[in-house]
Amino acid sequence: MEKILNYINGKLVEPLSRKFLDNYNPAEGKVYNLIPDSDKEDVDEAVKAATQAFPAWSILSIEGRMRILMRVADLIDRDLDKLSQAESIDNGKTVKLARSLDIPRASANIRFYATSAMHFATDAHVNEGDSVNYTTRMPIGVVGCISPWNLPLYLFTWKIAPALASGCTVVAKPSELTPMTAFLFSQLCIEAGLPPGVLNIVHGLGAKAGQAIVEQPQVTAISFTGGTVTGKKIAATTAPMLKKLSLELGGKNPNIIFADCDFEQTIKGSIRSSFTNQGEICLCGSRILVERNLFDKFITEFVKRTKELKVGDPQNESTDLGALVSETHLNKVLSYVKLATEEGGKILTGGNQIKLDGRLSSGYYVEPTVIVGLDEKCRTNQEEIFGPIVTIMPFDSEEEAIRLANSTGYGLSATIWTENLKRAHRVSHQVKSGIIWVNCWLHRDLRTPFGGMKQSGVGREGGWEALRFFTEAKNVCVKL
C-alpha cells in the first residue's frame, strides 16, 4: 500500500517513529494508503530546516521568489487532471468540482501572490528640511500553516503562497483526512526547484503534529483554518508566546431572500450555496431566511430541485454530491437530522444515509436535506453542521431578517437576494459577517480581505492583508 511521506528539507521522508495512519477513500469507505503519524520530533526537524533556509530565502529578490513560485503554478496546471482525481478520491468531492474549482484555485493562489509581492508598496513621510521616515516590511520568519480537509489543496496554497512570496519559510500541516494533494504538491515543489527547507510539509494528527507546530517556539506566526473549538485552543496556546495569529473558523451563514429577488437566479444560487461540496464549505448558506409572502413558493421550488440532485460516485461527471469526508463526519451530520426532529423540525426531503451498490456500498453518502419548523435559537440553527443540511425560516420585515441573520455566535459570510439596491446596501451594513454576497455566492476576488467576525475568526486573509500578516512593519527615520 502506498505511503504518503513528509517533505522536510527538500526531501520526502518517513516519520522518525516509522508509524503511519490509515487514510480512507470516502466514496468506498476503505483504506487506500497510509500517512505519517508525525509528532514533535518530526516538527522540530521541519522547523530546523525552515530556520536554516530562512536567511537565504528572505533576502532572495522578489523576482527570484516569483520565478520559482510561478514554476510551481505551471506544474499544477500541467497536472490538473491528476490532482483533480487525487482530490476527489481523497476527499469524496466530485471530480468535476475539483477540476473546475479546487485545483485551478490552487494555481491561481500561487500566481496571485507571486505577482502581488512585486507590487507590495511601502510608505515614506518627508518632514521638510528635517527628516525622512520610510517603512519597510520584513518577512516575519518561520511560520506555521495548518489547513482543513474540505478544500484541501485550495486552502493549503491559500496560506503557503503569501507566506513564501513574502520571504517567510513554512512548516505546514494539511488535514490528516485529506493529505494526498499536499503530498503531490511536495513532489511538484521538488521538480520546480524550490530550495530545501523553504517549505516543509508534516503530515499527521492535529493533536500531535498540529499542536507541536503551534507550540514550537521558533515558529513566529500561525495561520489556521478549521473549527472554532480548535481555534480557541490555538489562541490559548499562542497568547502567552505572543505569536502572530490568523484564524479562519466556523460559520452558520444566513442566506437572506427578499420577495423582490430575481426568483430563478435566487433558486439556482441557493441550491449551490446549500449543497456544493456536500455542504462541506464554511461559506455554505445553511440557514435560509425567506420573506413570508415568497415562503411557500420558494419552498416548493427549492425542495423540487433538491430532490433532483444526484448523489453518487464522485468520479461520475453527472454526480452532484459525492461522499462526506469520513465515517465520523457522516455520523455527526446524521445526528443533527435526528436532533432537528427532536427540536420540532419537519424534514421536507432527505435526512437519510444513502447506500450505493458495488464498490461504493460502504461509502459515506447522505441525502441533501431540507428542514422547516425550527426557531432561530435551537441547536440545529446555532451549531455548525458542515454537511448537506439546510433549514428554512420565514421573516416578515427587514428588521426581523437582520435579527435572525445575526442570531448566532458566528459571523463568517452572508448572502442577500434582492433587486432593491438601497436595501442591499442597508442590510449588508447591518449583518455582522465578514463577507457579504449580494445576488451571488462564492464569487471571489483574490484582492479582497477574507475572514469572519465573532466566533468565525481573528484577522483577515486575502489580498494585501495576507502579505501584511506574514511581514513585520519597520520604520526607519533618517535625520537630514
Would you please indicate which residues are annotated as catalytic (active-site) residues?
248, 282
Number of other residues whose CB lies within 10 A of the CB of residue 462: 21
Please tell me the distance from the alpha carbon of residue 371 to that of residue 303, in angstroms, as a whole number. 10
> 88 and 322 in contact (C-beta within 8 Å)?
yes
DSSP string for 103-130: HHHHHHHHHHHHHHGGG----EEEETTT
Number of other residues whose CB lies within 10 A of the CB of residue 211: 20
The amino acid sitting at 143 is V
Strand pairing report for 471-479 and 131-139: antiparallel
Please tell me the distance from the alpha carbon of residue 322 to that of residue 258, in angstroms, as a whole number. 31
> 235 and 247 in contact (C-beta within 8 Å)?
yes
> 239 and 399 in contact (C-beta within 8 Å)?
no
List the end-to-end C-alpha distance of the chain, in Å, as a whole number. 68
How long, in residues, is the chain?
Answer: 480
3-state secondary structure of 249: coil
Please tell me the distance from the alpha carbon of residue 432 to that of residue 454, in angstroms, as a whole number. 8
